[in-house]
């Protein structure tokens, strides 16, 4: 029995499903999870000593690669001064100033501990600010696991939310309306039906939880227009896209303004951090400045802040990182797409900046319904092939690949070559 198998067996006795987050389970690809012992640069090493080129990057935060020396040093220095004070620190002011001075439409920002918390709090703020209850989300977009957002609304665009998870009372999702990603008319219909009741539209500006689905031209602009017209707030959930598409995230990349923005993962450089921010008049609603209550014992933790601050400073001081990363990613995903297109089934890659997803369908993937046409059995087969070759991709069809500055053209080229051999053999 391998060490990972042994650990998984023990884990299953004491942790639900043996993992602390469902996406870490390898069930859908017919494997057991590998337990990771260490990570460095573009690589992770499992408990049995097998090394993988890691294209998950802790689901986004490791844009500079694992164990970056400057970030590690900053964390060690912070640890030497104590792990948590439950009181205000200079680092919190510095990271907030950095974000507010460089990202458009962010006049104030509040640190939290996860993306889930950031989104949940942004929604509460939007409701407090507008005095309205309903929110619009898109099918296939994930915004963390808070009750009101666990809605896929498989029963159709117009229906009020039906909870996706056991344990979510129907009352918690009754104000969650679902629309179709990349389909403005589905949003317009909801606004026409509830012109005075919608507090906010929340969107992943690039949907990265149904694979990778970039917004169609005009979609985000259209959301902006509709929100302004009906007095609702536009929330960009940039937990994936923030500081990844570029320093100004999706707002900068697409040139569309949001009223509130949520962040996670990447702003903590791998430490448990999230944040939400927006214009001062909106964020002034948040306690203790205003009546919208939100709090956190460990929010703005001094060690986590130093990790995040160091990563954000490096990214800000070196804009070439994004240019090089996005160009490298473009070449890699184009190569992977060419490899996939050797398959008779017409498999293909969706990609934008350093995010990409290989879909096992011939249909263009533009929304939740088309993403679901992907053949998950064919994905599982591909996963087992490429994983065995030492490439760690997410063990699920509907997750993104995240490239980092630490990946080299050579390594990525080898992966594309392995893909070419695999898909060529399917022909």
Q: Which residue is nearest to ligand PLP (CB)?
A: 115
d(CA 367, CA 139): 8
Cβ at position 83, least distance to ligand PLP in Å: 20
Q: Which residues contact 212 (CB under 8 A, 6 or more apart)?
A: 206, 350, 351, 352, 355, 356, 357, 400
- 142 classed as catalytic: yes
Task: Report in angstroms how near the CB of residue 168 gets to ligand PLP at its nearest.
Answer: 16
Segment contacting ligand PLP by CB under 6 A, of 110-118, 180-188, 195-203, 403-411: 110-118
Place of tokens 């609304």: 153
Give the x-and-dash track for 2-41 against ligand PLP (CB under 6 A). ----------------------------------------
Q: Which of residues 271-290 bind ligand PLP (CB under 6 A)?
A: 274
On the CB side of 407, CA atoms within 13 Å amount to 30
* Orientation angle between helical segments 69-79 and 302-317, nearest 10 degrees: 150
C-alpha closest to that of 178 among 194, 201, 199, 197: 201
- Reduced to 3 states, what is the DSSP secondary structure of residue 105? coil
CB of 165 or CB of 196, closer to ligand PLP: 165
Pick the stretch among 4-12, 109-117, 297-305, 353-361 that binds ligand PLP (CB under 6 A). Answer: 109-117
The DSSP element (H or E) to which 46 belongs, if any, is strand 43-46
Is 375 a residue of the active site? no
Compute φ and ψ for 424, nearest 5 degrees: -60, -40
* Residue 399 in the binding site for ligand PLP (CB under 6 A): no
Nearer to ligand PLP, 312 or 412 (CB): 312
Q: Using the rule CB under 6 A, which residue among 209, 294, 310, 354 binds ligand PLP?
A: 209
For the bound state, the minimum distance from the C-beta of residue 211 to ligand PLP, rounded and expressed in Å, comes to 12
User: Tokens 């997410």 belong to which residue?
Assistant: 394
DSSP 51-81: EEEESSGGGTT-TT-BT-HHHHHHHHHHHTT
215 binds ligand PLP per the rule CB under 6 A: no
Pairing of strands 176-179, 51-54: unpaired
Cα distances (Å, whole numbers) of residue 50 to 16, 41, 137, 382, 403: 26, 15, 40, 19, 20
Q: Is 265 a catalytic residue?
A: yes
Note whether 31 and 41 are within 8 A (CB).
no
Q: Which of 268, 335 has the CB closer to ligand PLP?
A: 268
Whichever of 59 and 181 has its CB closer to ligand PLP, that residue is 59
Q: In whole angstroms, how close is the CB of 125 to ligand PLP at the nearest point? A: 16
Question: CB 123 → ligand PLP: shortest distance, Å?
Answer: 12
Q: What count of other Cβ atoms lies within 10 Å of the Cβ of residue 58?
A: 17
Q: How far is the CB of 3 from ligand PLP (least distance, A)?
A: 27
Interface map 122-161 toward ligand PLP (x if CB under 6 A): --------------------xxx-----------------
Catalytic entry in 52, 183, 259, 265: 265
Position among 7, 78, 110, 114 found at the interface with ligand PLP (CB under 6 A): 114
- Give the nearest distance from C-beta 302 to ligand PLP in angstroms: 20
Alpha-carbon dihedral sign for residues 254, 259, 265, 268? positive
How many residues sit close enough to ligand PLP to count as binding (CB under 6 A)?
A: 16
Supply the DSSP symbol for 243: T
Q: How many CA atoms lie within 13 A of 307 on its CB side?
A: 27
- Check binding of 119 to ligand PLP (CB under 6 A): yes
Report the run of H or E that residue 417 belongs to, with start and end: helix 409-426
- Closer residue to ligand PLP (CB): 122 or 227: 122
Kindly name the residue from 142, 359, 368, 391 that is annotated as catalytic.
142
Q: Which two structure tokens, joined as six digits, stand for 230?
A: 């009906």
CB closer to ligand PLP out of 117 and 175: 117
Sites for ligand PLP among residues 234-273 (CB under 6 A): 237, 239-240, 264-265
Nearer to ligand PLP, 105 or 241 (CB): 241
Q: Which is nearer to ligand PLP, 308 or 335 (CB)?
A: 308
Query: Cis peptide leading into 214, omega within 30 of 0?
Result: no
State the catalytic residues.
Answer: 142, 237, 265
Contact positions vs ligand PLP (CB under 6 A): 59, 114-116, 119, 142-144, 204, 209, 237, 239-240, 264-265, 274
């Amino acid at each position: 029995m391998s060490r990972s198998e042994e650990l998984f067996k023990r884990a299953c006795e004491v942790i639900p499903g043996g993992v602390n987050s469902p996406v870490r389970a390898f069930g859908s690809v017919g494997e057991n999870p590998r337990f990771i012992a260490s990570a460095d640069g573009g690589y992770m090493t499992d408990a049995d000593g097998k090394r993988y080129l890691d294209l998950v990057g802790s689901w986004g935060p490791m844009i500079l690669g694992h164990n970056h020396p400057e970030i590690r040093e900053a964390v060690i220095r912070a640890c030497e001064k104590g792990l948590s004070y439950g009181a205000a620190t200079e680092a919190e002011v510095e990271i907030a100033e950095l974000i507010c001075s460089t990202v458009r439409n962010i006049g104030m920002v509040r640190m939290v501990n996860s993306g889930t918390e950031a989104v949940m709090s942004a929604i509460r703020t939007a409701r407090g600010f507008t005095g309205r209850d309903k929110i619009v989300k898109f099918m296939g977009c994930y915004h963390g696991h808070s009750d009101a957002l666990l809605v896929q609304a498989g029963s159709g665009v117009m229906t009020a939310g039906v909870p996706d998870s056991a344990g979510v009372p129907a009352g918690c999702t009754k104000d969650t309306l679902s629309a179709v990603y990349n389909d403005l008319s589905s949003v317009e219909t909801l606004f026409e039906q509830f012109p005075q009741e919608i507090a906010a539209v929340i969107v992943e500006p690039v949907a990265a939880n149904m694979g990778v689905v970039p917004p169609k031209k005009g979609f985000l602009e259209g959301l902006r227009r509709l929100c302004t017209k009906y007095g609702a707030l536009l929330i960009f959930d940039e937990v994936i896209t923030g500081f990844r598409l570029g320093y100004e995230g999706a707002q900068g990349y697409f040139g569309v303004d949001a009223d509130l923005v949520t962040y996670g993962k990447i702003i903590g450089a791998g430490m448990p951090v999230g944040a939400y921010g927006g214009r001062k008049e909106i964020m002034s609603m948040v306690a203790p400045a205003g009546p919208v209550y939100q709090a956190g014992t460990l929010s703005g933790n001094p060690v986590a802040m130093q990790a995040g601050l160091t990563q954000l400073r490096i990214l800000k001081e070196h804009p070439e990182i994004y240019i090089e990363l996005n160009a490298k990613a473009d070449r890699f995903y184009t190569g992977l797409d060419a490899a996939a297109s050797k398959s008779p089934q017409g498999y293909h890659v969706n990609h934008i900046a350093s995010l990409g997803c290989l879909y096992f369908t011939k249909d263009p993937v533009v929304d939740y319904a088309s993403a679901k046409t992907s053949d998950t059995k064919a994905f599982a087969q591909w996963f087992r092939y490429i994983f065995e070759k030492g490439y760690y991709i997410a063990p699920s069809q509907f997750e993104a690949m995240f490239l980092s500055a630490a990946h080299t053209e050579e390594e990525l080229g080898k992966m594309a070559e392995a893909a070419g051999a695999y898909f060529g053999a399917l022909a």
